């Protein structure tokens, strides 16, 4: 398989729909929120009542401009809202307001890091505004339409077909997700469909310049599924070509249960959406001064946070990179440092222990069972000598499993470190008395036995004795 | 008892201020006229006496403040394609049968804020597509001047209601002549404002880039007063203009005919009925006598108006009417297997012939492969027509033309031939395409005793100038009596 793959090359382009984090919808003042009671966030405009007209939400435009700036796009001073006409029950007006011939920005680029250590630049063809549709809800008595989501603002970010592997596509998507999160442009929640991805995939023999027939993969809702789905699709297409079959232009969907892509529909003829400029909306003007205002108020982007972490917390380039991979993680780390005031230890704990456990469980930072405040508390207890680093790892495991606070676990399990010299001396005396032969050997010059005595003391105290103090006292007792 | 329903709007306002009568009396007279005449005319599709009288009594309690409201106690009919909360809004179509408006249009809100009393919803051509009111699903409306004849359209009911003395004013919409042509055929003043002067929020969209709301009245002063209430920016309609709204009525007398130049395009007058031409020429002569300068102008590319209009309007309509699909509100076919059939049957049974014709025309014009040749080309020619007017307005302050080439025609006379019907809007269409204000004023009766209309076309947002000229013309002609 790997050799066959080597003779082919995949061409991948991604289309991402990102919901904008506005308070209200794109063309009316209804709240933009998830999970409200069915058909409560609606008004004459977003339910398409006769006579209702759209008006543009300036805040949505500003978030779009932020995305355009973050992705190095050229912004048009005048773009056009267009109607995309089609019938579907979740589309109350019979058309979706979108942008077609003149999107608000074009010609951007995004640099992504690959696991090989190399960087690759992916072109952004265009970003345009559009409104979301409602949702068909299938109930026992039939299908109903929930229009709470109808009219929610989206940007569609279309990449150039610059990606060649599923890894590149995955990294592009992660980088894009990160930028939109950092910019407070989109909350990035993939489960709720606030960040959705379609992939266009074709294969060709290496060295060819013409594109093969593309297949569209719809609505893939996690980074890992995107990579898996693309890999599966590439293999499927190579297989077909090898068998001498032609690849049909299709729309397919990823079945995560079966780990295969499945046919949604054949594109025998492309749907005619009869796009035309929406006569209810004037051209969208984004002046230079408006752009400058947005630029001036841009939230920190990942690269800036990375540099700040290196400078303020004295982190290595690598650590800073790991800790700023997502906005959630960077915020988590910052919060941990704020609690314990130990940037170095926080970096180790977050990057190694926390991320390790989360990855093992397939969890994301936002659903971590251990909060930043709890982790900072734990690190603080090590620094204050209440528990040893080794005990702390046991406590952390318990925290991760039970969501309990470190203080409660330490208390319940009696894990408080023994730093009382008197108590430790008593244990040392007991250990020496119990091991007269070893004591004699030590005295006779077998100094290596020092470690044996330390180990016995730690064993006696079930690891709770402060190792530094134990070392000092054992030495003192043996040599006295 | 005084015949309140014979009074124009200004007389009503003055009467209230002098406490000569009450709003309740006036509204009762309106309702009586409706009871008497509507069964024959079919001008109003919904009348709510209780609502109107409740409102009248509330206004009467405040009658000492009559002078503070610009439309205090004025009964007004609203075309049935404009939404008034809790009233029906059918747009003359079966597909909206039984639909109750969940909100009120900006224009109606403004009328009510100035003390107007909504008296009823007026009949109209289905989705404002028609020139005779005959495409209404709820039956034709008839012309009060001759019941065998049409009142014009699409705002036929609004015109007939005022001409029949049911109310002194009404609202219509005008996409290609739908206010001015029925005003002309019913002997009224009817104004189509500049595009963007009046909010379209709450108006059932036909062709969004052409639609405007405007008033019907018996006099120019009434028209001016209504326009100043209706006009102005609306944050719910992104296409409204922020230009200041002058007090039109108060400034009507500021200009005399000796200060204006009027343009006449000779090529526009070919094919006009003899009686219409005669009345038009007489008006020109009279105004000339009063000092107006008359110049010849050329509007060469307006001859493409009909073709351009019947590409742009149906294109926009095909998309605007997509929302009437049987899913969310309005008419739904009784039997269907799946959503495809739900759409096809609801729309197939819910829309009338003319509406289907225009939806098909527009769908075709917007289709991939035809878009450039039809929709895009039509918009290019639309700009040329605008340029023709811009050039003409270098030479004159207003363009004069008959509103319609003929007076009211008989019911059924043009229903078999869409093109013949479309031609009755030949002088009004270019005005919508160019976004200009246009007003139709009565200029006499033909030999059959039917009203003839004169149209004045002005520069964008120069409604004031237009109304001043119309006012001067009215002074010469006198106000036309009711039939």
Residues on chain A touching B345 (C-beta within 8 angstroms): none
Question: Chain A within 8 Å of B323 (Cβ-Cβ)?
Answer: yes
Q: Is B322–A93 a contact, with Cβ atoms under 8 angstroms apart?
A: yes
Separation of alpha carbons A455 and A460, rounded Å:
9
H helix intervals, B396-462: 418-423, 429-433
Residues on chain B touching A49 (C-beta within 8 angstroms): 83, 102-103, 329
- Residue A2 pLDDT: 53
State the average pLDDT for chain A: 91
Mean pLDDT of A61-72: 97
Please say if the pLDDT value at position A5 is more than 80: no
Domain-wise residue ranges, chain A: 15-201+261-293, 300-412, 421-479
A contact test, residue of B85, B210, B233, B236 with most A CBs within 10 A: B236
Range of the domain at B124: 1-483
- For residue B105, the chain A residue with the least C-alpha distance is A51
Give me the catalytic one of B79, B94, B192, B465: B79
Q: Which residues are CB-contacts of B408 (< 8 A; sequence separation ≥ 6)? A: B143, B145, B146, B149, B150, B151, B152, B185, B186, B450, B451
Query: Quick one: CATH architecture of A421-479?
Result: Orthogonal Bundle (1.10)
Q: Which residues are CB-contacts of A203 (< 8 A; sequence separation ≥ 6)? A: A8, A9, A10, A11, A212, A234, A237, A238, A241, A247
Please state, for a pLDDT cut of 70, what percent of chain A lies above it: 99
Question: What is the model's pTM?
Answer: 0.89
Q: Dig out the tokens for A395 from the structure.
A: 């406590």
Exposure of B477 in the CB half-sphere (CA atoms within 13 A): 30
The complex scores an ipTM of 0.95
Angle at A237 between CA A231 and CA A243, to 5 degrees: 135
Q: Is B367–A282 a contact, with Cβ atoms under 8 angstroms apart?
A: no
Question: Tens digit of pLDDT for each residue in B175-213?
Answer: 999 999 999 999 999 999 999 999 999 999 999 999 999
Q: Would you place residue B310 in the very low, low, confident or very high pLDDT band (cuts 50, 70, 90)?
A: very high
Q: Dig out the tokens for A435 from the structure.
A: 């091991």
Please state, for a pLDDT cut of 70, what percent of chain B lies above it: 100
H helix intervals, A362-466: 372-383, 389-402, 406-412, 421-434, 436-443, 450-460
Please say if the pLDDT value at position A146 is more than 50: yes
Q: Is B201–A51 a contact, with Cβ atoms under 8 angstroms apart?
A: yes
Question: Tens digit of pLDDT for each residue in B156-167?
Answer: 999 999 999 999
Residue B475 catalytic? no
Separation of alpha carbons B220 and B22, rounded Å:
24
- Residue B140 pLDDT: 97
Question: Tens digit of pLDDT for each residue in B423-465?
Answer: 889 999 999 999 999 999 999 999 999 999 999 999 999 999 9
Give me the catalytic one of B140, B154, B315, B318: B154
**Which residues pair with residue A112 across a beta bridge?**
A120
CA distance A281 to chain B (A): 6
Q: Is A89–B202 a contact, with Cβ atoms under 8 angstroms apart?
A: no
CA distance A209 to chain B (A): 29
Exposure of A475 in the CB half-sphere (CA atoms within 13 A): 6
Question: Chain A within 8 Å of B108 (Cβ-Cβ)?
Answer: no
- More confident: B220 or B368: B220
B contact test, residue of A51, A88, A275 with most B CBs within 10 A: A51
Q: At what angle do helices B305-320 and B353-366 cross, to 10 degrees?
A: 100
- More confident: B360 or A251: B360
Q: Is A50–B368 a contact, with Cβ atoms under 8 angstroms apart?
A: no
Q: Is A279–B103 a contact, with Cβ atoms under 8 angstroms apart?
A: no
Residues on chain B touching A50 (C-beta within 8 angstroms): 83, 89, 91, 96, 99, 101, 204-205, 323
Please say if the pLDDT value at position A1 is more than 50: no
How far does Cα B393 stand from its chain's mean position?
Answer: 24
Indicate the pairing of strand B75-79 with strand B117-122: parallel
Q: In Å, how far are B51, B116, B295 from B58, measured between CA atoms?
A: 11, 12, 52
CA distance B311 to chain A (A): 13
CA distance A85 to chain B (A): 7
Q: Is B103–A44 a contact, with Cβ atoms under 8 angstroms apart?
A: yes
CA distance B161 to chain A (A): 23
3-state secondary structure labels for all residues of A95-134: EEEEECCCCCEEEEEEEEECCCCCEEEEEEEEEEEEECCC
Q: Is B323–A282 a contact, with Cβ atoms under 8 angstroms apart?
A: no
Residue B11 catalytic? no
B contact test, residue of A28, A45, A53, A282 with most B CBs within 10 A: A53
Strand order of the β-sheet with A260-266 is A74-75, A105-113, A119-131, A153-159, A8-19, A195-205, A215-220, A250-255, A260-266
Please say if the pLDDT value at position A464 is more than 90: no
Question: Tens digit of pLDDT for each residue in A22-36?
Answer: 999 999 999 998 888
> Which residue do the tokens 């909206």 mark?
B96
Separation of alpha carbons A478 and B11, rounded Å:
120
Question: Tens digit of pLDDT for each residue in A468-480?
Answer: 888 888 988 888 7
Q: Dig out the tokens for B382 from the structure.
A: 């639309």
Q: Dig out the tokens for B117 from the structure.
A: 């009393």
* Minimum-distance CB partner of B204 among A50, A87, A272: A50
Separation of alpha carbons A190 and A184, rounded Å:
15
Question: Tens digit of pLDDT for each residue in A306-331?
Answer: 999 999 999 988 899 889 988 889 99
Quick one: how many helices (H) and strands (E) in chain A? 17, 16
Separation of alpha carbons B386 and B432, rounded Å:
10
Please say if the pLDDT value at position B1 is more than 50: no
Contact A215, A190 (CB under 8 A): no
- Residue B61 pLDDT: 96
Mean pLDDT of B397-402: 97
Mean pLDDT of B230-240: 97
**Number of structural domains in chain B:** 1
Q: Is A94–B323 a contact, with Cβ atoms under 8 angstroms apart?
A: yes
Separation of alpha carbons B239 and B237, rounded Å:
5
Mean pLDDT of B91-120: 98
Please say if the pLDDT value at position B293 is more than 90: yes
Q: Would you place residue A268 in the very low, low, confident or very high pLDDT band (cuts 50, 70, 90)?
A: low
Please say if the pLDDT value at position B260 is more than 50: yes
How far does Cα A227 stand from its chain's mean position?
Answer: 15
- More confident: B81 or A425: B81
Closest Cα to residue B483, out of B187, B145, B157? B145
Name the strand (E) or helix (H) holding B46. strand B44-47
- Residue A45 pLDDT: 97
H helix intervals, B156-273: 156-163, 180-186, 220-230
Please say if the pLDDT value at position A15 is more than 70: yes
- More confident: A181 or A220: A181
Contact A185, A73 (CB under 8 A): no
Q: Dig out the tokens for B307 from the structure.
A: 């073709």
Please say if the pLDDT value at position B102 is more than 50: yes
- Residue A257 pLDDT: 83
Residue B277 catalytic? no
Q: Would you place residue A261 in the very low, low, confident or very high pLDDT band (cuts 50, 70, 90)?
A: confident
CA distance B275 to chain A (A): 39
Residues on chain A touching B315 (C-beta within 8 angstroms): 276
CA distance B65 to chain A (A): 33
Please say if the pLDDT value at position A3 is more than 70: no
Q: Is B202–A51 a contact, with Cβ atoms under 8 angstroms apart?
A: yes
What SS3 class is residue A313? helix
Please say if the pLDDT value at position A9 is more than 80: yes
Give me the catalytic one of B93, B136, B158, B178: B178
How far does Cα A354 stand from its chain's mean position?
Answer: 15
* Minimum-distance CB partner of B238 among A56, A87, A275: A56
Cis preceding-peptide flag for A249 (omega within 30 of 0)? no
């Amino acid at each position: 398989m790997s050799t066959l793959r080597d003779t082919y090359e995949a061409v991948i382009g991604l289309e991402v729909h990102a919901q904008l984090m506005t308070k209200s919808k794109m063309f009316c003042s209804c709240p933009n929120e998830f999970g409200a009671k069915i058909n409560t966030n609606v008004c004459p405009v977003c339910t398409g009542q006769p006579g209702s007209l759209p008006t543009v939400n300036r805040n949505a435009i500003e978030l779009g401009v932020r995305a355009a700036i973050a992705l190095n796009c050229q912004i048009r001073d005048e773009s056009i809202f267009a109607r995309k006409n089609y019938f579907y029950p979740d589309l109350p007006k019979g058309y979706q307001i979108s942008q077609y011939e003149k999107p608000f920005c074009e010609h951007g680029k995004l640099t992504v890091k690959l696991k090989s250590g190399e960087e690759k630049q992916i072109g952004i063809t265009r970003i345009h505004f559009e409104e979301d549709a409602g949702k068909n809800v299938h109930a026992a008595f039939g299908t109903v339409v929930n229009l709470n989501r109808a009219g929610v603002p989206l940007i569609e970010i279309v990449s150039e077909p610059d990606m060649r592997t599923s890894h590149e596509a995955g990294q592009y998507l992660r980088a894009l997700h990160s930028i939109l999160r950092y910019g407070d442009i989109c909350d990035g929640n993939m489960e709720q469909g606030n960040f959705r991805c379609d992939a266009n995939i074709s294969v060709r023999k290496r060295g060819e310049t013409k594109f093969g027939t593309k297949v569209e993969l719809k609505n893939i809702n996690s980074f890992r599924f995107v990579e898996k789905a693309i890999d599966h699709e590439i293999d499927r297409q190579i297989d077909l070509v090898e068998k001498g079959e032609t690849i049909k232009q299709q729309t397919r969907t990823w079945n995560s249960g079966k780990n295969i892509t499945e046919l949604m529909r054949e594109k025998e003829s492309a749907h005619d959406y009869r796009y035309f400029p929406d006569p209810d909306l004037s051209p969208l003007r984004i002046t230079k001064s408006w752009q400058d205002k947005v630029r001036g108020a841009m939230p920190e982007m990942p690269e800036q946070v990375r540099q700040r972490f290196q400078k303020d917390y004295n982190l290595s380039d690598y650590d800073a990179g790991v800790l700023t991979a997502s906005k959630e993680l960077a915020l988590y780390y910052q919060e941990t440092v704020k609690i314990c005031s130990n940037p170095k230890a926080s970096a180790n704990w977050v990057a190694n222990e926390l991320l390790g456990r989360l990855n093992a469980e397939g969890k994301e930072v936002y659903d971590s069972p251990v909060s930043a405040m709890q982790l900072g508390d734990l690190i603080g207890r090590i620094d204050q000598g209440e528990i040893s680093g080794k005990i702390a790892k046991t406590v952390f495991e318990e925290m991760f499993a039970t969501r309990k606070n470190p203080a409660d676990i330490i208390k319940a399990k009696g894990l408080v470190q023994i730093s009382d010299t008197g108590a430790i001396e008593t244990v040392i005396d007991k250990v020496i008395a119990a091991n007269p032969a070893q004591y004699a050997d030590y005295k006779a010059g077998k100094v290596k036995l020092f470690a044996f005595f330390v180990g016995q003391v730690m064993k006696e105290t079930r690891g709770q004795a402060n190792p530094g103090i134990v070392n000092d006292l054992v030495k003192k007792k043996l040599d006295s | 008892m005084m015949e309140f329903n014979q009074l124009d709007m200004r007389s009503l306002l003055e009467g209230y201020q002098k406490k000569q009568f009450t709003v309740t009396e006036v509204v009762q007279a309106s309702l009586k006229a409706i009871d008497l005449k509507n069964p024959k005319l079919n001008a109003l599709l919904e009348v709510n006496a209780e609502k109107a009288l409740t409102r009248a009594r509330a206004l009467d309690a405040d009658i000492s403040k009559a002078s503070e409201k610009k439309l205090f106690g004025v009964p007004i009919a609203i075309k049935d394609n404009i939404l008034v909360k809790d009233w029906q809004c059918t747009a003359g179509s079966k597909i909206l049968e039984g639909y109750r408006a969940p909100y009120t249009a900006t224009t109606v809100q403004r009328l009510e804020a100035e003390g107007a009393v909504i008296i009823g919803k007026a009949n109209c051509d289905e989705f404002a597509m028609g020139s005779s009111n005959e495409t209404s699903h709820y039956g034709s409306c008839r012309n009060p001047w001759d019941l065998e004849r049409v009142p014009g359209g699409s705002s036929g009911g609004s015109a007939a209601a005022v001409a029949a003395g049911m109310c002194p004013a009404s609202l219509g919409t005008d996409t290609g002549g739908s206010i001015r042509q029925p005003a002309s055929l019913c002997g009224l003043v009817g104004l189509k404002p500049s595009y963007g002067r009046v909010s379209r929020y709450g108006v059932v969209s036909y062709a969004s880039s052409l639609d405007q709301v405007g008033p019907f009245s018996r006099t120019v002063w009434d028209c001016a007063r209504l326009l100043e209430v209706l006009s102005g920016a609306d944050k719910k309609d992104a296409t409204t203009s922020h230009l200041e709204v002058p007090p039109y009525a108060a400034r009507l007398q500021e200009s005399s005919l000796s200060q204006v130049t009027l343009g006449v395009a000779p090529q526009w007058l070919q094919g006009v009925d003899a009686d219409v031409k005669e009345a038009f020429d007489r008006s020109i002569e009279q105004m000339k006598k009063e000092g107006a300068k008359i110049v010849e102008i050329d509007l060469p590319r307006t001859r493409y108006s009909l073709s351009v209009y019947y590409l742009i309007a149906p294109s926009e309509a095909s998309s605007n009417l997509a929302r009437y699909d049987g899913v969310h509100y309005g008419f739904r076919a009784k039997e269907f297997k799946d959503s495809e059939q739900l759409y096809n049957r609801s729309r197939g049974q819910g829309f009338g012939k003319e509406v289907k014709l225009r939806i098909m025309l527009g769908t075709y014009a917007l289709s991939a492969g035809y878009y450039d040749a039809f929709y895009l080309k039509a918009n290019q020619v639309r700009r040329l027509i605008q340029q023709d007017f811009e050039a003409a307005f270098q030479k004159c302050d207003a363009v004069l033309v008959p509103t319609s080439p003929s007076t009211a025609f008989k019911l059924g006379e043009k229903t078999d031939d869409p093109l013949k019907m479309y031609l009755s809007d030949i002088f009004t269409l270019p005005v919508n395409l160019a976004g200009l204000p246009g007003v139709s004023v009565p200029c006499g009766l033909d030999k059959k005793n039917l009203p003839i209309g004169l149209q004045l076309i002005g520069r964008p947002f120069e409604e004031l100038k237009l109304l001043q000229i119309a006012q001067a013309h009215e002074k010469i002609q006198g106000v036309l009596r009711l039939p």
